């Protein structure tokens, strides 16, 4: 059985405060984007519970730490009748790029196993499993525009209409360390007094440039000026809104659909265009 895990962008990202558990309270809007990986899982007769392989973009880290494997192990602990499987992941979503690709792969693994082996888990149950794998994994169970608060795990579905627009994703291949980005961040005490992102997102998109901010941009742009240059270039190309996603390094631009774009970025960058 095949599924196609998609990525997300953040429409605005506020870091509100640091929690006692070491995490940060945030406010963001998650928006699904049709840049996709490919995930296949089939039953196996092997003695080894899971035989994992991958293609496409090189996956960082040790194989046993892959979130797809952890998702399988998590479900099998509660449902020992799940058989051994062969799992193949083709990576097209850049990693460490602020697009949530690893979280998407994990969430889609949960959903695929649930369907393929008739576990009959509800959406709420899948979300609870997803939360054990990562703060933004739960979003990909719903996979529809949502506000994210708390650590990003408290989700509320909202209406965001970007029809009539196209999206350009630009990834410069820089792996931004999230911990480093948090360490360089200066918390803005006024964030608590600003209009909510849910209210800002309801306004016409041409107003977002002045009000919809990603707090990670300032520290990350200082560390990596080339990422800031990408955002500036997208606005020069005619974007109605441009921003870094998550803690970077991917930057996106939202353009009117009828605009003919001439894309001219560094040849080493990964650039993709998508209809919204």
- For residues 199 and 11, the answer to whether their CB atoms sit within 8 Å is no
CA 101 – CA 6 distance, rounded (Å)? 7
Name which of 6, 76, 12, 81 is nearest 36 in CA terms: 6
Annotation marks residue 8 as catalytic: yes
**Rounded CA separation 4/48 (Å):** 25
67 and 32 in contact (C-beta within 8 Å)?
A: no
- Find the catalytic residue in 37, 91, 105, 136: 136
Angle at 125 between CA 11 and CA 63, to 5 degrees: 75
Of 145, 155, 125, give the one whose Cα is nearest residue 32. Answer: 145
Q: What is the number of other CB atoms lying within 10 angstroms of the CB of residue 187?
A: 14
Q: Give, as one character, the DSSP assignment of residue 131.
A: H
- Taking alpha carbons only, the member of 74, 90, 202, 52 closest to residue 128 is 74
Residues contacting 225, CB < 8 A, separation 6+: none
Strands 165-171 and 154-157, bridge-based pairing: unpaired
Q: Are 48 and 80 in contact (CB under 8 A)?
A: no
> Is residue 8 classed as helix, strand or coil in its secondary structure?
strand
Q: How far apart are CA 251 and CA 266, in angstroms?
A: 14
Establish whether 136 is a catalytic residue.
yes
**Length in residues, the chain:** 276
Catalytic residues: 8, 136
């Amino acid at each position: 059985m095949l599924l196609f895990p998609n990525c997300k962008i953040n429409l605005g990202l506020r870091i509100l405060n640091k929690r006692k558990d070491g995490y940060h309270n945030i406010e963001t809007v998650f928006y699904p984007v049709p840049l996709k990986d490919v995930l296949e899982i089939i039953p196996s007769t092997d003695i080894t519970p899971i035989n994992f392989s991958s293609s496409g973009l090189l996956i960082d880290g040790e194989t046993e730490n892959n979130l797809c494997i952890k998702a399988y192990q998590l479900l099998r602990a509660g449902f020992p009748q799940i058989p051994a499987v062969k799992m193949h992941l083709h990576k097209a979503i850049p990693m460490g790029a602020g697009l949530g690709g690893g979280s998407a792969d994990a969430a889609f693994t949960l959903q695929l196993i649930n369907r393929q082996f008739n576990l009959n888990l509800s959406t709420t149950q899948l979300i609870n499993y997803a939360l054990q794998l990562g703060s933004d994994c739960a979003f990909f169970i719903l996979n529809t525009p949502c506000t994210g608060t708390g650590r990003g795990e408290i989700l509320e579905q909202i209406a965001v209409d970007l029809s009539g627009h196209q999206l350009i994703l630009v990834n410069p291949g820089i792996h931004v360390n999230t911990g480093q980005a948090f360490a360089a961040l200066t918390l803005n005490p006024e964030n608590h007094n600003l209009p909510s992102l849910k209210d800002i997102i309801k306004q016409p998109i041409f107003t977002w440039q002045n009000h919809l901010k990603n707090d990670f941009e300032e520290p990350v742009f200082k560390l990596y000026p080339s990422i800031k240059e990408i955002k500036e270039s997208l606005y020069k190309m005619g974007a109605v809104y441009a921003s870094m996603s998550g803690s970077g390094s991917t930057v996106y631009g939202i353009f009117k659909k009828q605009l003919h774009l001439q894309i001219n970025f560094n040849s080493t960058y990964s650039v993709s265009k998508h209809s919204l």
